[in-house]
Structure 1
C-alpha cells in the first residue's frame, strides 16, 4: 500500500481528538515535514486544532490575534483551492513582521494550505510547512497535491465525526457504479483511465461522479471520495 492508504487506515481507527492529534504528528513524520496543522472553526466560533507548532508560538499567535493579519488565513478564507504561501501577499509591514516572528519560532520558509468548507458554515485549514528551496518545495507539492487534498478532507470528516456534529444529513447509499468510480478515484486513477476500466464514456462517468457528490453532500469530487472513505462506503 502507498503512504496515503496507510495513513487513511490509521486515521480510520481514531476514536478521540487526542488520537487525531497523534495522527497529525505521525503524518508530519511520514512526509518528513517541519510542521503540519489542522484547524477548524464552526459556525458559532468553536475551534479545534491538531498541530505540531510549539505551544509558545501558538500562545503568542492567539494572544496577539495574528489571524487578523495572517495572509494565510485571509487568503484561504477567500478561496476554495489550495494555496502555496509564496503566492500570497506578504508586502504589508505587519505581514512581514509576522513572517519574521514565525521563522524565529521554528516555522519553515515554505507553506501550503488547503481550505476546507464543511457543513453549516464550518471552515477549516489543512497546512503543511517545511524548510527547503523553492524548487524542492514545488516538486514536493506538485507530486503530492491530490494526496494532500484528499487527506485534508478525510481528516476534517474524521474530526467532525468524533465531535458528533449533528449538522450533516444522513448519507445516502451509492449505486455500484458510483462506488466503483469513487474507489478508482481514491486510488489516484484519472478520469480517462477510469472510463476505460469501466468501459463507459467520460460524459457518463461525470454523471456517476455528480450523482455521488449529490448523495454525499460533497462540495467537490475530492470531498466525495473522503466522505465515502470515512463512512466505509468504499475501501481502497
Structure 2
C-alpha cells in the first residue's frame, strides 16, 4: 500500500504539520499524526510530526499496513486507546522500534469517517504513566475529537487533496482503453486501434477495474466517467 505525504503537496494554506505541532503544544503531547485510507486507490495519505528518521523506518518496514492502532481505529467509531493493544505482537514489534526514536506506546487514535468512503485517523502520543495518561485523556478528548474532524475536513475540502483521494491513478494507456470502450468499441477493436494484443487490452482493463473498485468493465467505465477521467461519447 503506497503512502502519500499530504504535507508536501503544494496548495494554498498547507500548514498541516504546523497544526499538529500546535495541538501537541496546547495539550502537552509528544507527537501527533493524521492518516487517511483511500479504499479505491489502495493508499495511505497523511502527515505527522514524528522525527524524520522514524517516518522513514515506519514506511520502509511497511508498518502502515499492519499497525494495530490504525487497523482497530479504522473499524471503530470510537477512539481507540493504545493500552488495549499492548498484548498484540505487532504492536510490540512497532513500538520496540519506535522506542529507539523516543516515541512511547501511550497514545490514542480517533477515527473520522469521510464523504468518499475514506477514513481519517488522528493519533496522539505522550510518554507518561497509565494514571497520568487517564487523567490527561479525560481532560483533552473533546478537543482532540474536534481537531480530528478539522484535519479530515481540511484534507477532503482542499481541491489538490481531493484529487489525490478521489481520483485513482490510472495510467495513460488505461485511460485510453477505457475511453475507446466507452465509445462502444470491443476489446478486439481497441486492440486493433492501438496496435496491441487483445490480451494486453484485457490486462489494462483488469487493472482499471481494480483501481476503480469495479466488478465489471461497464462499471469501471461508468465510474471513470463520473470521476471525469474519461468522457461519454
Q: Following the alignment from structure 1 to structure 2, what is the Cα–Cα distance between the partners of residues 96 and 108?
A: 11
Q: Gaps (5+ residues) in structure 1?
A: 1-13, 169-236
How many pairs were matched up?
153
Preserved CA contact (<8 Å) 1:117 1:123: yes
1:149 maps to: 145
- Alignment of 1:96 with 2:92, yes or no, is yes
RMSD (Å) for aligned C-alpha atoms: 2.2
Displacement of 1:42: 2.4
1:158 maps to: 154
- Alignment of 1:56 with 2:53, yes or no, is yes
1:68 maps to: 65
Candidates 85, 96, 101, aligned match of 1:105: 101
Q: Following the alignment from structure 2 to structure 1, what is the Cα–Cα distance between the partners of residues 86 and 29?
A: 23
Q: Following the alignment from structure 1 to structure 2, what is the Cα–Cα distance between the partners of residues 105 and 90?
A: 21
In terms of mean alpha carbon deviation, does 46-55 or 114-123 score higher? 46-55
Pairing of 1:1-236 with structure 2 (within 5 A) = 15-17=12-14, 19-43=15-39, 44-88=41-85, 90-92=87-89, 94-163=90-159, 165=162
Displacement of 1:82: 0.1
Q: What is the SS of the residue equivalent to 2:158?
A: helix
Preserved CA contact (<8 Å) 1:109 1:132: no
Residues 42-92 of structure 1: CA deviation (Å, up to 9, x unaligned): 232344322111111111111111123321122112211101100125332
Q: What is the SS of the residue equivalent to 2:141?
A: helix
1:189 maps to: none
The TM-score with structure 2 as length reference comes to 0.60
The TM-score with structure 1 as length reference comes to 0.59
Displacement of 1:124: 1.4
